[in-house]
Structure 1
């Protein structure tokens, strides 16, 4: 294994990449300073940049992410599917359930709770195409659109980056930094290449912006939960306290290591969420909700290509910029840390297994979750018992809490959701800080405690500044701006991966052929005198 993988302690930060560390820290400090000195300027700059990217290049993000879905599925179910992330003798570090639980927790666990009610309701009340808003037909369309945003595209966006990092790192025993994803193009020059170094920097900055977004969005829901459950009204000072406590919690979790921190919390929380989802399904209109789910699979697959490639060419509204394109940019900005963390925990998995359990299984679970939560919310909204949509428009974090008012034991369920949201935020931020620390530590698989704590603090400060400088819109816009340059890098990473897969597949074929020849030689006592393949090989060996 490359010696740079080993974390040689040279201080509290360990053996770290000084140019990458200080470049990333400098950019983060500049954003924080601008947010403190002139928050209006930061919000205006981020919003203008987001609007420009969405309007001018939205079509490119749509085409790119959809193409990655096709490429990823092809890799998983093609002749390359049997290749391993690692050597042939490598075995998985985590059980399949724990592995998938960690994927959910570091990926979109926070989003499940925050948007499970809100997004289907938005698309039902403000349906952009294929149906009139707030009609029976709009229910199916709303669930289809939600499945598009939380299905194959999201999970493949994360996991294709994970494959690009994990394959060369585990297969060739290289450091696990983002730049190693270009190994198929650059070979042994990767570590010194300016292009790989640039990819490291862009990925690190995108990760910082992405996790600040996770914290910002999560705090909105936690803040509402504090008022809803405990009757405590919080202002900006309350949000700062919440982020500070979360920062302390996920920093301690990161320090405890993967198996004691993220793995344990992820498994526990996913079990709780599964039980919560089953309770809502069973106590609600089970038959109708399951019909939504089963019909939704067919509707999603049947309309996948039209929805995936719809780019609103006439630009009749800003809907696509604030929904589909925004989601794809969020996926891109989160893909370095989600994909990188997924890469770190996936040694020993085959590519086919990776696509099956890291893409297809989560996508199907996402469809079930949004069918149950979204379907329940729409049913309550149309019955007129509770105006959930009004509550969601006033505060996006209120959706799931207001929904629970129609279910038995609503107070207990609200507390469960509140605690689950906190754990999801801890595991998401923990995994992100772990991955950033890996990058700064020259791709070390186990970065130092000091490095993980340093970036835990930095992301917490950035989240506070973004919230104070413009709330949700500033968080969203900053995330998009931070992630957009990485979209270009993913294209080169996929190209590099395909070249590596082709080479490794050829090597495996040659090795298998060589073993077959040797077996034939052993069976042929007169190999030297015959004209068979074994004889030719024997003479060539001589």
Structure 2
């Protein structure tokens, strides 16, 4: 029996040993640093993050905006009719399920955590175009939230998805990040040091990122347990919640992609629509609609000055704490979200991909923040609940305190809690699926054992970081570690454009020649 056969029949299947152990080692070193000396790691990572934002912030702003422009151009140019796959390939999932899965993967628990908090922060600490706490500041706060959760974020994720999905499905290549360089490297992608480096950065950033997101989610769930059941929580409760999430994740992953992530994502999107409509109907519906419609115009009218504002006078740290922080998260998360979206997008045209994986989530994000954010700011102005002070203490408190001011709060609060649980499960499931694909040499369906190993590994990391207090330190470190991927995305797009031009000439050039031949 050969070594390859032993790997393929082993516990983890046929996997990439150098990548597997490199990612595990790098992750463990960073996490151990975060456990043993969280303050030291936080200080070093914070300094590096500040240096990147202050010195190269302009380049990240330029890069993200370039991704948006190129992504829109690809989707609505002559290349938009090309498929992610062969001409005869059909989509694997219904359109609603497909959008639900990419939405759950790209958003995770962020909507619940930041739906109240971010508009309030920008309303109370407005950086430009309005005085804080004024009616105009409401409009500006929603503009900023729309930019952070709109085109720039979704295109940052999805352009990476396009770069991976096109060569993987078109040429039958492995579904890993290095495959995205096929247009530049050809069949050398699996041996090129640059492609391998992209694989390593993407996997490490994913594990660090998902561990911190799950950890933050546990903190929110802990608040929900206190709020709903009146149970005082501590370290033991955090561990208990995390163990419960790991068990639920294991159940989800055992059901597979089509039944697990697909079902839970669809369920959660339906629940989120219900929550949004409940707040929309229970709150000041007329004002919400006015601000939503006004916000569309403001977003489109001010998107260029907002997107390219780099604080040239270096007058405050706002841009480092907000816009640049968001863009660095997008860049470090792009391998994971883009890679997972690529996996579920076979058979979609490039135009359909951009329309439904970028523009549709952008509009949905704007409506969510207009609904939840407007209601939160009105509650703050009315003085019924000091929401801003509450979210500064605990991000997870915002949505629960908001619901307390509306009818049927006792009914809706458990629904929000349930939604947060499902979001965290689907985030962990999709992240583990992506990492397992990378470890399994780009296999479209990695083994159950590989997915379980990385899911449990990530959950244990989250527990250790929560207990040790190193969660924020590792979050910052993972963002810093993923930041070089901005350069990688540039080469990935270059590679994609070369492949698109070649495939367009083959597919549509051949059709034109056939027409000329058959004409009398």
TM-score by length of 1: 0.93
Could you report, residue by residue, the CA deviation over 1:212-255 in whole angstroms, capped at 9, with x for unpaired residues?
Answer: 12212212211111111111122233222222221232233123
Residue in structure 2 matched with residue 443 of structure 1 by the alignment: 442
| CA deviation after TM superposition for structure 1 residue 134, in Å | 0.3
CA distance in 2, matches of 1:349, 1:8: 33
Equivalent-residue separation in structure 1 for 2:316 and 2:474 (angstroms):
22
Which residue in the other structure is 1:16 paired with? Answer: 15
Contact 2:175 2:437 in 1 (8 A): yes
CA–CA distance in 2 between the matches of 1:232 and 1:50? 37
Q: Please report how far the alpha carbon of residue 362 of structure 1 lies from its aligned counterpart in structure 2 after TM superposition.
A: 0.3
Q: Say yes or no: does 1:311 pair with 2:306.
A: no
Q: Which moved more, 1:180-189 or 1:467-476?
A: 467-476
The 2-side partners of 1:403 and 1:512 are apart by 58
Spell out the pairing of 1:123-162 with structure 2 (5 A cutoff).
123-162=122-161
SS at 1:303's partner residue?
A: helix
Distance 1:235 1:80 in 2: 55
C-alpha distance in 1, partners of 2:6/2:239? Answer: 34
Aligned-partner Cα distance in 1 for 2:449–2:514: 48
Q: Within 2, Cα distance between the matches of 1:256 and 1:233?
A: 34
Match of 1:457 in 2: 456
Question: Per-residue CA shift, 1:308-330, capped at 9, x if unaligned?
Answer: 01111222211111110111111
* Aligned partners of 2:39 and 2:470 also within 8 Å: no
CA distance in 2 between counterparts of 1:474 and 1:465 reads: 13
1:356-371 pair list within 5 angstroms: 356-371=355-370
Partner of 1:295: 294
* Matched residue, 2:432: 433
Deviates more, 1:170-179 or 1:483-492: 483-492
Measured after TM superposition, the shift of residue 283 of structure 1 is 1.5
Distance in structure 1 (CA, Å) of the matches to 2:422 and 2:146: 24
Aligned to 1:38: 37
* Cα deviations by residue, 1:259-296 (Å, 9 ceiling, x for unpaired): 11000001111111111111111111111101111000
Q: Which residue of 2 aligns with 1:530?
A: none
* Contact persistence 2:242–2:459 (CA under 8 A): yes
1:257 and 2:256 aligned: yes
2:345 aligns to what SS in structure 1? Answer: coil
Q: Counterpart of 1:477? A: 476
**Secondary structure of 1:328's aligned partner:** helix
Shift of 1:359: 0.1
Which residue does the alignment assign to 2:247? 248
C-alpha distance in structure 1 between counterparts of 2:6 and 2:178, whole Å: 18
Paired residue total: 516
**2:68 matches 1:80:** no
Q: Which residue of 2 aligns with 1:422?
A: 421
- What is the rounded CA distance, in whole Å, between the counterparts of 1:76 and 1:384 in structure 2? 46
Structure 1 residue 33, shift from structure 2 partner: 2.0
How many Å separate the matches in 1 of 2:346 and 2:19?
A: 26
**Can you list the C-alpha shifts for 1:491-528, whole angstroms capped at 9, x where unaligned?**
111111111111111111222023224433xxx5xxxx
Moved over 6 A (4+): none
State the SS of the aligned residue for 1:174.
coil
Alpha-carbon distance between aligned partners in 1 of 2:274 and 2:487, rounded to the nearest angstrom: 40
Structure 1 portions without partners, runs of 5+:
1-5, 525-542
The corresponding residue for 2:346 is 347
Q: RMSD of the TM alignment (CA)? A: 1.5
CA deviation after TM superposition for structure 1 residue 109, in Å: 3.5
C-alpha separation between the residues in 2 aligned to 1:303 and 1:312? 16
Kept in 1, the 8 Å contact 2:38–2:473? The answer is no
- Rounded to whole Å, the distance in 2 between the matches of 1:131 and 1:116 is 21
**Matches of 2:469 and 2:134, distance apart in 1:** 35
Q: Give CA-to-partner distance per residue, 1:405-442, whole Å, 9 cap, x none.
A: 11111011110000000000100110000000000000
Cα 1:169–1:8 shift into 2, 3 Å = farther
Residue 515 of structure 2 is matched in structure 1 by: 516
Q: Which residue of 2 aligns with 1:235?
A: 234
What does residue range 86-235 of structure 1 map to in structure 2 within 5 Å? 86-235=85-234
CA, structure 1 residues 314+467, in 2 after alignment: closer, same or farther (shift >3 Å)?
A: farther
Instruction: Give the equivalent residue in structure 1 for 2:329.
Output: 330
**d(CA) in 2 for partners of 1:200 and 1:39?**
27
Post-superposition shift, 1:51? 1.8
Which residue of structure 1 aligns with residue 56 of structure 2?
57
The normalised TM-score by structure 2 is 0.97
**Contact 1:69 1:157 (C-alpha < 8 Å) held by counterparts:** yes
Paired residues of 2:332 and 2:479 also in contact (CA < 8 A): yes
Q: 1:241 to 1:42 in 2, by over 3 A?
A: farther
**Aligned residue runs from structure 1 range 495-510, under 5 A:** 495-510=494-509
Q: Shift in Å at residue 486 of structure 1?
A: 1.4
- How many angstroms apart in 1 are the aligned matches of 2:36 and 2:134? 48
1:449 deviates by 1.2
- Matches of 1:187 and 1:40 in 2, distance apart? 45
Structure index of larger Rg = 1
Contact map agreement 1:250 1:429 (CA 8 A) in 2: yes
Distance 1:276 1:478, change over 3 A: same
